[in-house]
Amino acid sequence: MPGDAVAAGAARLLDRLWESASSAPRVSAHEVVDLSRVRGPTVRLPLAEASWQQYERALRRVAVPRTSAHGDLRQENLAQRRDGSFAIIDWESYEPVSSLAFDLLHFHLESQRRLGAPHWGVLVEHGLRLPPVTLLAQRLGVCPPDLLAAYSVNRAARTMRLFSGPEAAVPEARRQRTTEILESLTAVLAV
């Protein structure tokens, strides 16, 4: 079936990405997630201090390959070439210092969201049992809740980066929604 061939080709691409990332030096996720984007002088999400501490502990416990990252790897950003191979497109969210581990996790979670997960809390809760997520956590030698917590803070920081500049540049609705997601995930992940 053509759909199966596309899925197999995308899976091969993701495997090659992991192979390239796995040889990169491992660092604490705290070193590749720019917390100043969500907790700094220009943008400060109004998250409870206890929640920030939980996320920071998770970031320190998770070691990820230090690589560059696409920043928004999902099915819509894969283009199939004539020869059947895939190219990654839409590089506007590129991060020179990040981790492909976050890209791979984002790809799998976004695939689940497209299948109908109603909100991030359910998505992440489901992600804790998703085979690609548990496999990635196993490859990194971390527990899935810590990996998902680090990913969540990374996504929040990336989202806030899109509105770089003075704090007023971040729409209040976006700031509020990002805060709500992080707060709700604190309970789901129990980090």
The residues pairing with 98 across neighbouring beta strands, listed in sequence order, are 67
Q: How far is CA 147 from the centre of its chain?
A: 9
What distance in Å separates the CA atoms of residue 178 and residue 156, rounded to the nearest whole number? 6
- Mean pLDDT of all residues in 154-158: 87
In this structure, are residues 112 and 127 in contact, taking their beta carbons and an 8 Å threshold? yes
Range of the domain at 120: 2-189
What distance in Å separates the CA atoms of residue 35 and residue 53, rounded to the nearest whole number? 12
DSSP 95-120: EEEE-HHHHHHHHHHHHHHHTT--SH
pTM value? 0.84
Residue 92 φ/ψ, nearest 5 degrees: -70, -20
Q: Does 178 have pLDDT greater than 70?
A: yes
What distance in Å separates the CA atoms of residue 131 and residue 114, rounded to the nearest whole number? 17
Instruction: Supply the mean pLDDT for the chain.
Output: 83
Q: Does 177 have pLDDT greater than 60?
A: yes
Number of separate domains in the chain: 1
